[in-house]
Amino acid sequence: MGKNTGGEAQHTLSEKAAAWAVHIFTASGVLWGLLALSAIFDGRTIDAYLWMFIAVMVDAVDGFLARKFRVKAVVPQIDGALLDNVVDYLNWSFIPAIFLWRSGWLLEPGIFWAGCILMCSAFAFVHTDAKVIAHGYFRGFPSYWNIFAFLCDVTIRSLGSAMPDHISLVVTSLLVLFCILSVLPVYFVYPTRVVRWKPFFTWGSGIWTVQCGVMVLMYPDIPQWLFFSSLIFPSIYLLLGVLWTPRVHREIHSGTH
pLDDT at 163 over 60: no
Indicate whether 2 pLDDT > 90: no
Asked, for residue 4, whether it belongs to a domain, the answer is no
- Whether 178 contacts 141, CB under 8 Å: yes
Range of the domain at 228: 81-254
* Per-residue pLDDT band at 190 (split at 50, 70, 90): confident
| Contact between 95 and 36 (Cβ < 8 Å) | yes
Cβ distance 221 to 206 under 8 Å?
no
* Residue 67 falls inside a structural domain: no
Count of structural domains within the chain: 1
Within 13 Å, how many C-alpha atoms sit on residue 83's CB side? 22
Do residues 151 and 100 make contact, with C-beta atoms less than 8 angstroms apart? no
What pLDDT, on the 0 to 100 scale, is given for residue 255? Answer: 60
Q: Assess if residue 89 is contained within a domain.
A: yes
> pTM for this one?
0.86
Give 65-114 pLDDT, tens digit per residue.
999 999 999 999 999 889 999 999 999 999 999 999 999 899 999 999 99
- What CA–CA distance (Å, rounded) separates 179 from 172? 10
3-59 confidence digits (pLDDT tens) = 444 444 688 888 899 999 999 999 999 999 999 999 999 999 999 999 999 999 999
Amino acid making up residue 56: V
Q: Is residue 54 part of a domain?
A: no
Residue 235 domain-assigned (yes or no)? yes
Per-residue pLDDT tens over the stretch 114-137: 999 999 999 999 888 777 766 688
In a domain, 14, yes or no: no
